[in-house]
């Protein structure tokens, strides 16, 4: 079996109750917010597992580099991408989608549909994003960073532990698209599969430049 999902201190699964009451208007999200379950196609061929890992590692390294340039007081300030998110919110958002990817891998391993696919039939991607940001709003930056690092490491290890045959095979017995392609869509952005982190680099770089960080040209 794949590694289990983390749980919060209250013993609940580390996910918002996205099927619950609306509870207000969703907060604005940066303009390059996650594309959800769409079949991103920036790369025409299925990337290898090694390529996927390199893309994920590279995107996160650049995110971490920008975060490390920010003064501590700026990490929780809103305004990222012209919206209400802070850099801390962004990091929690990126982690939430890696959690969705791990959930999907566990479900596919059981021959079941990915939970994120079920959610996106009834809940908008904007609401999914807003609920997960809200769930982590009271967390300290240190906690968000630790959770991000643990989840990212677990995701890379899980991808690395898959066989090439499993990577190329349909995610479920009833499916047609390769597991690697399905996973790349969950973790994708406008530039292609596994490029979710990259989609947020420009707005984060602009935020760093506006809040006293040391940053050169936007990526």
The string of DSSP codes covering 9-25 is TTS-BSS--TTS---SP
Torsion sign (Cα): 8, 94, 128, 52: negative
Percent of the chain, pLDDT > 70? 76
Q: Under 8 Å CB-to-CB from 143, ≥6 apart: which residues?
A: none
Q: Which two tokens stand for residue 99?
A: 């959690």
CB 30 within 8 A of CB 93: no
How far apart are the C-alpha atoms of 202 and 62, rounded to whole Å?
11
- The lowest-confidence range among 15-29, 50-64, 104-118, 200-214 is 15-29
More confident residue, 3 or 142: 142
Q: Is 137's pLDDT higher than 60? A: yes
User: What's the confidence (pLDDT) of residue 17?
Assistant: 32
User: What's the confidence (pLDDT) of residue 40?
Assistant: 39
Q: What is the mean pLDDT of residues 7-28?
A: 36
User: What's the confidence (pLDDT) of residue 45?
Assistant: 72
Q: What is the mean pLDDT of residues 82-101?
A: 97
Q: What is the mean pLDDT of residues 49-71?
A: 97
Q: Is 214's pLDDT higher than 80? A: no
Query: Looking at residue 33, what DSSP letter applies?
Result: -
Q: Is 22's pLDDT higher than 50? A: no
Q: What is the mean pLDDT of residues 204-210?
A: 94
Which domains are delineated in the chain? 49-210 (1.20.120.450)
More confident residue, 218 or 173: 173
């Amino acid at each position: 079996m794949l590694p289990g999902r983390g749980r919060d201190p209250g013993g609940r699964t580390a996910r918002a109750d996205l099927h619950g009451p609306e509870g207000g208007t969703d907060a604005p999200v940066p303009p390059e917010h996650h594309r959800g379950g769409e079949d991103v196609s920036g790369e025409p061929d299925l990337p290898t597992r090694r390529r996927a890992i390199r893309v994920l590692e590279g995107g996160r390294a650049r995110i971490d580099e920008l975060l490390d340039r920010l003064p501590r007081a700026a990490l929780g300030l809103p305004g990222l991408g012209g919206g209400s998110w802070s850099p801390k919110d962004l990091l929690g958002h990126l982690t939430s989608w890696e959690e969705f990817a791990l959930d999907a891998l566990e479900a596919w391993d059981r021959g079941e549909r990915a939970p994120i696919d079920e959610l996106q039939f009834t809940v908008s991607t904007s609401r999914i994003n807003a609920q997960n940001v809200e769930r982590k709003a009271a967390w300290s930056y240190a906690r968000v960073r630790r959770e991000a690092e643990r989840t990212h490491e677990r995701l890379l290890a899980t991808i690395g532990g898959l066989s090439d045959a499993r990577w190329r095979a349909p995610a479920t017995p009833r499916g047609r698209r390769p597991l690697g392609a399905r996973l790349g869509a969950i973790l994708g952005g406008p530039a292609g599969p596994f490029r979710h982190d990259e989609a947020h680099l420009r707005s984060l770089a602009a935020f760093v430049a506006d809040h006293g960080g040391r940053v050169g040209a936007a990526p």
